[in-house]
Structure 1
Amino acid sequence: MNTPLLLLGILHTSPLEIASFVLAVTMVLLNIRQSPWAWLFSITSAALYAIVFYQAKIYGDMTLQFFFIAVSLWGWYQWLFGGNEHHGVVVTRLTRRGIVHTGAAWLITWLAVAVLLETLTDTDVPRIDAFLTAGSLVGQFLLSRKKLENWHLWIVIDLIYIGLYIHKDLYLTALLYAVFVVMAIVGLQAWKKSLAQTRTGQPSPQ
């Protein structure tokens, strides 16, 4: 299933990485449209990427996939039944306090994960792996609550991930994250429109 192959004569990859790639792109497209089905693709993609990252010895990212699965189940519920009237959450912005809490959560999680990776694993990229793992957890939480700022985080995180995956010879995944950057910019603009429509009382497109 995961035998290495040469894609388009350029990218060394595997069937497992290709399947994860397709599922992840579909997930983000559905996120942009605010479709609850995005979470199903998130769960499936995360399960496959856990295997890919284990084989690449990117253990922070591997562990992150299991958190993604758990958060995706919670996010699925939030998008369907969250909010004050239990009709699903809508796009909102973080308050100043929320921004401070987000930054603190990222910093604390980064330090904790870095210690664990340096102590318990043989990874050669513990600090950057921990930084991106922590940021991804925070970003996923914000996405679950439909906070507009989740897209800002993903743009920064995905740009750094490109370099990490090139370093690890995961070229298809590096390409995926380059696509993610573009999609995050599109998602940011789409959610800004949704937020404006919510504030004026117009229905948001699904």
Structure 2
Amino acid sequence: MNDTFTIFGLVDTTALELVSFALALCMVLLNIRQSPWAWLFSIISAATYAVVFYDSKIYGDMSLQFFFIAVSLWGWYQWLFGGTTHHGIQVSRMAPRSWLYSAAAWLVGFFAIAAFLRMFTDTDVPHIDAFLTAGSLVGQILLSRKKLENWYAWIVIDLIYIALYLHKNLYLTALLFAIFAVLAVVGLRAWAKSLREQEPQQ
């Protein structure tokens, strides 16, 4: 599934990247709708993208996919059975202290991952890979807790990922993340509306 072919004479890709593209797109659409089934698509797309990124020597992103699988299992449980009533969590905002913790985790993750990539891999993009990997870790945790602000993180991350994937000739995945950036704005608006609707009931 790693043989390269061209779509419409415009984009070079592989069958595995194409499958991963479709699965990931379904995942984000389901996330916007707050469907727990999003986590199943997250698990499968993470597994296939791990292979795609390994072949492209984007090792931070490759490792990130295994974290996504683990967090997806946790997020699936949280969306279905989390919260004080165990009927699933609702959309909420981050507390001021959570912003500080998230920023600190992103920064520490960046330095740790960048150091690892420089020392133990042959990647040519250790710093941007580390920055985006650390940010994605934070974003995924916020998503699993249904924090509205996860969409802000994904907007920033998705836009930067476009440049990385273009650099790595993963044109279809670059297109996917351009779509992700747009969908993240849609998700932000949809979740903000959901939050406004539930706030009077709290």
Q: TM-score range by the shorter chain?
A: over 0.9
Shift of 1:2: 1.7
Shift of 1:60: 0.1
Give the letter for the 1:4 counterpart: T
Give the letter for the 1:157 counterpart: I
Shift of 1:135: 0.2
Question: Which residue matches 1:101?
Answer: 101
- Secondary structure of 1:200 counterpart: helix
Shift of 1:17: 0.3
Question: Which residue matches 1:61?
Answer: 61
Counterpart CA distance in 2 for 1:21 and 1:39 is 15
Instruction: Give unmatched runs, 5+ long, in structure 2.
Output: none
Question: Which residue matches 2:123?
Answer: 123
> What do the CA deviations read for 1:177-198 (whole angstroms, capped 9, x no partner)?
0000000000000000010111
Counterpart CA distance in 2 for 1:72 and 1:136 is 13
Question: Which residue matches 1:148?
Answer: 148
Question: Which residue matches 2:80?
Answer: 80
TM-score by length of 2: 0.99
Counterpart CA distance in 2 for 1:180 and 1:41 is 15
> What do the CA deviations read for 1:31-83 (whole angstroms, capped 9, x no partner)?
00000000000000000000000000000000000000000000000000001
> What do the CA deviations read for 1:155-186 (whole angstroms, capped 9, x no partner)?
00000000000000000000000000000000
Question: Which residue matches 2:166?
Answer: 166
Give the letter for the 1:181 counterpart: A
Question: Which residue matches 1:70?
Answer: 70
- Secondary structure of 1:13 counterpart: strand
Shift of 1:201: 2.2
- The runs of at least 4 consecutive aligned structure 1 residues that moved more than 3 Å come to none
Give the letter for the 1:136 counterpart: S
Question: Which residue matches 1:185?
Answer: 185
Question: Which residue matches 1:30?
Answer: 30
Counterpart CA distance in 1 for 2:28 and 2:79 is 15
Counterpart CA distance in 2 for 1:124 and 1:63 is 16
Instruction: Give unmatched runs, 5+ long, in structure 1.
Output: none
RMSD between aligned residues: 0.8
Question: Which residue matches 2:91?
Answer: 91
Counterpart CA distance in 1 for 2:33 and 2:192 is 12
Shift of 1:100: 0.4
Counterpart CA distance in 2 for 1:162 and 1:8 is 20
Counterpart CA distance in 1 for 2:55 and 2:10 is 21
TM-score by length of 1: 0.97
- Secondary structure of 1:5 counterpart: strand
> What do the CA deviations read for 1:106-150 (whole angstroms, capped 9, x no partner)?
000111000100000000000000000000000000000000000
Percent identity at matched positions? 67
Counterpart CA distance in 2 for 1:141 and 1:8 is 37
